[in-house]
Structure formats: C-alpha cells, structure tokens
Chains A and B, each alone.
Chain A
Amino acid sequence: QVQLQESGPGLVRPSQTLSLTCSVSGAPISRGGFYWSWVRQRPGKGLEWIAYIYYSGNTDSNPSLQSRVFVSVDTSRNQFSLNLTSVTAADTAVYYCARGPPYRELDFWGQGTLVTVSS
C-alpha cells in the first residue's frame, strides 16, 4: 500500500518561499506510471490542484499559480517537492501531496500539512 507524507515548515513569512516535501513509501516513484501532485485546501474552502511532477521531471501546474510554482523530484530519496514563491496570507492552507494515474483521479493522498503565512 502506497503511503505519502508531507513535511516542511508550518509557518512562512509573507513574500518568502513555501517549501514542502512529500515522502513516498510502498511504491518507487522511479517505476513510472503515476503522476505526483500537490493539492491545497484553504481554511473552510474546497480543494485546489497546484501541480504535478512525473519521475522524469515532466511537470505541469495550475495556470493561476504557474508563475510562482516549482516542483521537483528526487527519485533516489523517493520524494518530490513543492516550492511556492512570494507567498501571501492567501496561501495559508493545508497542503496535500497525492498520487494519480495518467488521465485519472487522485487515488492516494498524504495526511496534509498546515502552512500558515504570517509575519
């Protein structure tokens, strides 16, 4: 059974960069066949897809965030990461990492990590 776990700072200052890592167990990212995504949920709000990365490094992101999003993958550590630059209070959210087959739904999710943007 695949498991995902997010990690990173719970507090980020405005205008700084939010950096999170998702550690994957039970499935090697390097095997391919799945896309690894970031999704966020702002307080009391719905879900917003941020970006994905494939083991090869191929990525895509939500146009509304594209200019501030950078995702990377480290297959040797079986991890992938999210960097979101120039954050504001509007980026305060629970951030989830998730897995999905190509052209399909997100079938496994991490537990999520709350990131608060505040000075």
Chain B
Amino acid sequence: EIVMTQSPATLSVSPGDRATLSCRASQTVSTNLAWYQQKLGQPPRLLIYATSARATGVPVRFSGAGSGTEFTLTISSLQSEDFAVYYCQQYHKWPQYTFGQGTRLEIK
C-alpha cells in the first residue's frame, strides 16, 4: 500500500495570503496525484488531478506541482471560501486509491 503523508496537519493563514500544503508518498506515484477540498458536512470536491491540472470550475488561484514522491498544493491568495480540509490522493496503484490524512486550512 502506498502511504500518503500530508503536512502540516493544520495551517493557519490570513485571508489574502498564500498557502502551501505538502503531500509525500511512501513510493513514487509519478504524477498520478489528485487534491480534494472538503468543507464541513460536504463530500470531497476534486480540485486538481494529474498533479497540476485544475478540475472544471476550479479558480486559477489553486495550483499543484510535484512528481515522484513530493507534491504541493498552493492557493495563491486565500479567499474566505477556501478555508477547509484538503486531501491528496494517489491513483498510481489504481484502483487501490489511498489518501493522505488531510490538512486543515484555518483562518489566522
């Protein structure tokens, strides 16, 4: 099983500032990585797939980067609606999807 580890567990950032979230895989996943946003009481929403491709309707302030075992999700200028929990997911070993434990992005 590929273990996904996200850091930090919680990130406190002020609105308008940049946020960078990290995700590490226990073995290479190439660029087969997605990011999801989850708000309280809602399902995960696909933000990024194939490491850096934005899903339909996702604002350009969201960007993904990385390859192999190290990945980042950057939100360039935080809006109030961006404060949520973010999960990375590998699908390199499809269909044995595994997810990170999540990073909670909170208002500073």
A105-B49, A109-B43 known; A47+B99 contact, CB < 8 A: yes
B95 touches A60 (CB 8 A): yes
Q: For residue A47, which residues in chain B have a CB less than 8 angstroms away from its CB?
A: 36, 44, 87, 89, 99
A46-B102, A47-B87, A111-B43 known; A106+B94 contact, CB < 8 A: no
Q: Across chains A and B, which 5 residue pairs bring their CB atoms closest together, nearest first?
A: A105-B34, A109-B43, A49-B97, A47-B99, A105-B49
Q: Name the residue on B nearest A103 (C-beta).
A: B94
Closest beta carbon of chain A to B57's beta carbon, Å? 11
A109-B44, A111-B43 known; A46+B34 contact, CB < 8 A: no
Closest beta carbon of chain A to B104's beta carbon, Å? 11
Q: Name the residue on A nearest B47 (C-beta).
A: A105
A46-B101, A49-B97 known; A104+B44 contact, CB < 8 A: no
Cα separation A111 to B32 with both chains bound (whole Å)? 25
- Give the number of residue pairs across the A-B interface with Cβ within 8 Å: 60
Q: Which among B34, B43, B45, B99 is the interface contact of A48 at CB below 8 angstroms?
A: B99
Give the secondary structure class of B's interface: loop
- Is A35 on the interface with B (CB-CB < 8 A)? yes
- Is B107 on the interface with A (CB-CB < 8 A)? no
The interface of chain B, by Cβ under 8 A from chain A, is 1, 32, 34, 36, 42-46, 49, 55, 87, 89, 91, 94-102
Q: For residue A60, which residues in chain B have a CB less than 8 angstroms away from its CB?
A: 95-96
Q: Name the residue on A nearest B35 (C-beta).
A: A105
Q: For residue A110, which residues in chain B have a CB less than 8 angstroms away from its CB?
A: 43
Q: For residue B102, which residues in chain A have a CB less than 8 angstroms away from its CB?
A: 46
Closest beta carbon of chain B to A40's beta carbon, Å? 11
Cα separation A45 to B89 with both chains bound (whole Å)? 15
- Is A55 on the interface with B (CB-CB < 8 A)? no
Q: For residue B1, which residues in chain A have a CB less than 8 angstroms away from its CB?
A: 63
